[in-house]
Amino acid sequence: MAKRKTKFVCQDCGYETAKWMGKCPGCHNWNTLVEEIEITGKPNRHTFSGVSSAGSKPEKITSIESQQEPRITTNLKELNRVLGGGIVPGSLVLIGGDPGIGKSTLLLQVSSQLAEKQHPVLYISGEESTRQTKLRADRLGVNSDLLYVLSETNLLNIANHIEQLNPSLVVIDSIQTIYREEVSSAPGSVSQVRECTSELMRIAKTTGVPIFIVGHVTKEGAIAGPRLLEHMVDAVLYFEGERHHTYRILRGVKNRFGSTNEMGIFEMKEEGLREVMNPSEIFLEERSQGAAGSTVVASMEGTRPVLVEIQALISPSSFGNPRRMATGIDHNRVPLLMAVLEKRVGLMLQNQDAYIKVAGGVKLDEPAIDLAIAISITSSFRDLPTRPDDIFIGEVGLTGEIRRVSRIEQRVQEAAKLGFKRVICPQNNLDGWTTPNNIQVIGVKSVQEALEIGVTR
């Protein structure tokens, strides 16, 4: 016989305890423990289409046939790129982002495109009525007979509709509004989100229907709910960008069927999202010519090279402790590179405020951007501009050496395609490949050597 057990669960990290505490021992946040009732004993699990996991048997890996399942491709090539080539049947994809960033708009456009290709799509909205969804569909020009809209929050009813309709794609907007009757806690709680996601994962794997679920984010930018949520799904996509800017970035941080850290660029228009095929031109179109502190770096975002402008502003400090601020890069990298410039090059930066920014709202985290940051800092400090047709690529070590980076061929080809004339890169990256004819590739071994070439008095 089932028994009821009371427990307290943290709504931020999922920590469970038998008694209430003001401060969560897991995430150290205050007043996040909420009382929930857990039913112990023999579980009454809902089975979908009579499929039971007890019938599965272990198989030899050598006896399993390798089969490449065809992916479902959309008209948005940027989305296909982030997913690794298209939507994999039976996959569970989690999309997170700030409120109003365009998650529902993107998924409604994708649903319409698949419906026009004769793929039935079930769009389930737990936050909007069907009439509200229809208003947004009219604004986006969405009109297809194979796109079905459902306003439902009960997971059991959703499972029944999926079984009856047998769609090619299911969209859940959002997972925080869905609930299971067996779980006593409120929708959006840790227990509800965990149980509903687990059930949706089982439905996707047993039926082969891909499911997209939308997840809310916290004020820190992480997806709300337990961290276990990101481990349960097959792919995690983050929709980034400023609400008051037109460009949106779809970034894959986890993908079991493709490359991670892949990036897709979209532009928000009145009629919906439009993909940007060449983001390097977008990020560099407003670059000031002859401005001190501005450099361009070729960064790899997944399998695609992207040219981005890095700006630095160095000014004398009026405080005892100089300020070090960074936007778009790790803020700990700025004082590290400034220490290298001060020790190995002789620049007196200890009484200077430093402000570093990646133009265009892009976030860069690879070490190949170190040299461009160092050149920007030096250019602003000396008030000497760099050549507008130079590209700087390389990782900077603590002893001032320039270390090799990956995929130098793709970076140089992207720079040559956009009309840049010189690439300053690590000396060890020059072997084993042929440089393009219309661009000069210069190898350097130290920061001092790179500064002599890129920033001259």
3-state secondary structure at position 31: coil
97 carries a ligand binding annotation? yes
Average the pLDDT over 183-208 and give the result: 88
For the stretch 365-398, pLDDT in tens is: 899 999 999 999 999 999 999 999 999 999 999 9
Q: In whole angstroms, what is the distance from residue 34 CA to residue 195 CA? A: 17
What is the residue extent of each domain of the chain?
Answer: 3-40, 73-277, 282-454
Average the pLDDT over 245-254 and give the result: 86
Most confident of 180-184, 357-361, 439-443: 439-443
Q: Which residue has the higher pLDDT, 31 or 222?
A: 31
Residue 223 reports pLDDT greater than 90: no
Q: Which CATH class is domain 282-454?
A: alpha beta
Bridge partners for 16 per DSSP: 9
Q: What is the pLDDT of residue 8?
A: 86
Most confident of 26-30, 46-50, 330-334: 330-334
Q: What is the pLDDT of residue 286?
A: 83
Q: Which residue has the higher pLDDT, 445 or 216?
A: 445
Average the pLDDT over 164-172 and give the result: 95
310 carries a ligand binding annotation? no
Residue 92 reports pLDDT greater than 80: yes
103 carries a ligand binding annotation? yes
314 carries a ligand binding annotation? no
Average the pLDDT over 421-450 and give the result: 93
Confidence band for 49, pLDDT divided at 50, 70 and 90: very low
Residue 362 reports pLDDT greater than 90: no
Average pLDDT in the chain:
88
Tell me the CATH number of domain 73-277, given options 3.40.640.10, 2.60.40.10, 3.40.50.300, 3.40.190.10.
3.40.50.300
101 carries a ligand binding annotation? yes
* Residues in contact with 291: Cβ distance below 8 Å, sequence separation at least 6, in sequence order: 385
- Predicted TM-score of the model (pTM): 0.77
**Cβ count within 10 A of residue 231:** 9
- Weakest-pLDDT range from 43-52, 152-161, 260-269: 43-52
- The residue with tokens 């981005």 is 308
Average the pLDDT over 89-99 and give the result: 92
Residue 151 reports pLDDT greater than 90: yes
For the stretch 99-126, pLDDT in tens is: 888 899 999 999 999 999 999 999 999 9
Residue 162 reports pLDDT greater than 70: yes
**Residue 274 contacts residue 376 (beta carbons within 8 Å):** no
Residue 32 reports pLDDT greater than 90: no
Q: What is the pLDDT of residue 51?
A: 46
Q: What is the pLDDT of residue 161?
A: 95
Count CA atoms closer than 13 A to 289's CA, side-chain side: 2
Q: Which residue has the higher pLDDT, 228 or 250?
A: 250
Q: What is the pLDDT of residue 226?
A: 60
Q: Identify the CA nearest to 218 among candidates 422, 61, 11, 48.
A: 11
Q: What is the pLDDT of residue 9?
A: 83
299 carries a ligand binding annotation? no
401 CA to centre of own chain: 31
Average the pLDDT over 75-96 and give the result: 93
3-state secondary structure at position 218: coil
* Residues in contact with 379: Cβ distance below 8 Å, sequence separation at least 6, in sequence order: 292, 293, 294, 295, 312, 385, 386, 454, 455
Q: What is the pLDDT of residue 34?
A: 81
- The residue with tokens 């509709």 is 161
CA distance to 141, 189, 242, 274, 356, per residue, from 270 (Å): 11, 35, 16, 10, 33
Percent of the chain's residues with pLDDT above 90: 57
Q: What is the pLDDT of residue 28?
A: 87
Backbone angles phi, psi at 436, to 5 degrees: -65, 155
Confidence band for 52, pLDDT divided at 50, 70 and 90: very low
Catalogue the E-assigned strands of 48-159. 92-97, 121-125, 147-150
Average the pLDDT over 312-340 and give the result: 92
